[in-house]
Structure 1
Amino acid sequence: MTSGLLIFFALLGGLAFWGIALYNQLVMLKNNTDKAWSNIAVLLKQRNEELPKLITVCKEHMKYEKDTLQHVIEARSQVASAMNSGDLGALGAAEEQLRIGLGNLFAVAEAYPELKASQGFLQLQRRITSLEDSIADRREFYNDAATINNIRIDQFPDLLIARPLSFKPYRLMTFSSAEKADVDVAAHFQS
């Protein structure tokens, strides 16, 4: 065999090895992003399972706050629907409505001393608050994973593998202007 042919096969082998390594890296990024989204879904499911318990406890004590409770119930339903459809835009809007509803519910609960003293309410409030914090952390992790994936599939030379093999970008979870605005805490305490 001639040295030119050996060089050609060495280059071809190196190129094949590089392509395989690049493909495997892109697959890893895709799967990490999917895992980050699944972690959010698990937390949202846990929160959605806790909310009916919270509402039941609140109903026992809050006879006249049906609108506040109904808002939380409707927002919870919208979150579940958006999760099932995989619509990140609808999920962001539903999450915003649920956070507003929970904020109102916890603020209204201040007017009910027997509710505030209820161990069930306090445990559920702590659990849901903890889940909200975890969801926020996981949203950040998901956005990081999605951004890394999106950059890699658009960068040269990665795009030489990503485009022909149909690697798709992930949509980031964004916040509406209302979610980024300062919270008017005083408004929650007005009747």
Structure 2
Amino acid sequence: MIILLVIIAIIVIFVLWLFIGGRNNLVRLSNGVDNAFAQISTQLQRRYDLIPNLVETVKGYAKHEDAVFSKVTEARAAASKAIQTGSAQDVAAAQDTMGQARLAINAVAEQYPDLKANQNFLSLQEELTSTENKVAYARQAYNDSVMSYNNGIEVFPTVLIAGMFGYHKKTMFEVENEAAKEAPKVSF
């Protein structure tokens, strides 16, 4: 009889250990995804803070390119709003729009050789390039966190715990704009 009670106690302790450990692991994974998304937001905010400086520098050289600058300003406002209120998909869509606006600024810069030699413009371009690399790294880290989280809620025995506590799959950060996925064409 005592052996049976010991076996039952061991089983109960083991199940509780799995339950508590699994729940704690899911919380850590979920918090990791939230942190990774916050890092994307931080880097995107840094990018959006740089854009007005770049626009002002370019405006001094290309006063007649107002349509480009309006497009950049509108894209920046929409992206900033998406960072504050949106989901990963909203932020990705806003980021696509910002990328298109940034390309428009670069096209204007190509038309004005004096601008490309301006030290302020060069510094801003370098800072923007650095920021783009940080955004790409943050997106990769977010997707890695989402993959770990999604794996965590789908494997046994945590799949049982995930269902009980309402954990659901999270969405990867993906580029919605198909044109952005294509390699740029370079010709000389």
TM over 0.5, shorter chain:
yes
Take 2:83 and 2:104, find their aligned partners in 1: how far apart are those partners?
A: 23
Q: How does 1:39-50 map to 2 (within 5 A)?
A: 39-50=39-50
Q: What's the secondary structure of 1:167's corresponding residue?
A: coil
Structure 2 letter corresponding to 1:31: N
Q: How does 1:1-191 map to 2 (within 5 A)?
A: 2-176=2-176, 177-184=178-185
Structure 1 letter corresponding to 2:64: Y
Q: CA deviation at 1:61?
A: 1.4
Unaligned runs of 5+ in 2: none
Relative to structure 2, which stretch is displaced further, 166-175 or 37-46? 166-175
State percent identity of aligned pairs: 32
Unaligned runs of 5+ in 1: 187-191
Take 2:77 and 2:184, find their aligned partners in 1: how far apart are those partners?
A: 24
Structure with the larger RCO, 1 or 2 (CA within 8 Å, 6+ apart): 2
Q: CA deviation at 1:184?
A: 4.2
Take 2:158 and 2:127, find their aligned partners in 1: how far apart are those partners?
A: 43
Structure 1 letter corresponding to 2:182: A
Take 2:157 and 2:139, find their aligned partners in 1: how far apart are those partners?
A: 29
Take 1:4 and 1:173, find their aligned partners in 2: how far apart are those partners?
A: 51
Q: What's the secondary structure of 2:9's corresponding residue?
A: helix
Take 2:52 and 2:104, find their aligned partners in 1: how far apart are those partners?
A: 16
Which residue is 1:189 aligned to? none
Q: CA RMSD in A?
A: 1.8
Aligned residues of 2:110 and 2:116 also touching (Cα < 8 A): yes
Q: CA deviation at 1:38?
A: 0.9
Summarize deviations over 1:154-189 as a string: whole Å, max 9, x none. 222111111111223211111222221233456xxx
Structure 1 letter corresponding to 2:140: E
Normalised by the length of structure 2, the TM-score is 0.91
Structure 1 letter corresponding to 2:60: E
Q: What's the secondary structure of 1:163's corresponding residue?
A: helix
Structure 2 letter corresponding to 1:100: Q
Query: For this pair of structures, how many residues does the alignment match?
Result: 187
Aligned residues of 2:37 and 2:88 also touching (Cα < 8 A): no
Q: CA deviation at 1:84?
A: 1.8
Structure 2 letter corresponding to 1:165: F
Q: CA deviation at 1:123?
A: 0.7
Take 1:52 and 1:175, find their aligned partners in 2: how far apart are those partners?
A: 24
Structure 2 letter corresponding to 1:154: E
Q: CA deviation at 1:90?
A: 2.7
Aligned residues of 2:50 and 2:124 also touching (Cα < 8 A): yes
Aligned residues of 2:55 and 2:105 also touching (Cα < 8 A): no
